[in-house]
Amino acid sequence: MASRREGIKANDEQPKTAESIMKNVDNISDTIKEISDNLVKEYCEDLDNIMSELRQEITSKEIDNYILESYIMELANTLYFTGSAQEDLGIKEDICKAIRQEVYSKAREQATGKTVADKTAQAELIAQTETMTLAIYSRAYKKVKLRMDAGYEMLNSLKKVMNKRITEMELSNSRYINHSDNND
């Protein structure tokens, strides 16, 4: 009995070899990666743009204080909104988990196998599409989290640079003030 829940099937016409299995894995993972990358791009585009700009600024010249301040504020603001988007993605992952569990449970309940293992195998096969969709959301969530973590590391680094500059400027000003007091 064919159904819409046949899931991803390997090519059963030819004998399976390690190479054919690897090719099938590559094809499926490429599809999942592409979908996941599109989700990540949607949620992280602004953060990616700022990080790319920063990379160009850092490698090309020294950043002046005004630009540094601007990047600190812009990066903090973007991380706020990216964090909110990450949580939205987490909600989708949770919903997908629930849908997958519902499909799996119904399939297991209706499975016609004789043993528990047969019923489990049948239910897992029927829920395969939901399992793949869950993998997409899960990977996308992890990728967004990694980018946010890197964004926070960059923000902390920028703040340290700014604090160092402020300290150096204060030290320089105090030396100038102390030097001029001695000349009076």
**What residue type is assigned to position 96 of the chain?**
C
pLDDT of residue 107: 93
Instruction: Kindly give the confidence (pLDDT) of every residue in the chain, 184 residues in length, as a single tens digit, with 9 standing for 90 and above.
Output: 444 444 555 545 667 899 999 999 999 899 999 999 999 999 999 999 999 999 999 888 788 899 999 999 999 999 999 999 999 999 999 999 999 999 999 999 988 877 999 899 999 999 999 999 999 999 999 999 999 999 999 999 999 999 999 998 888 887 767 655 555 4
Please state the pTM of the whole predicted model: 0.78
Q: DSSP of 32-79, one letter per residue?
A: HHHHHHHHHHHHHHHHHHHHHHHHHHHHHSPPPHHHHHHHHHHHHHHH
Q: How far is CA 122 from the centre of its chain?
A: 32
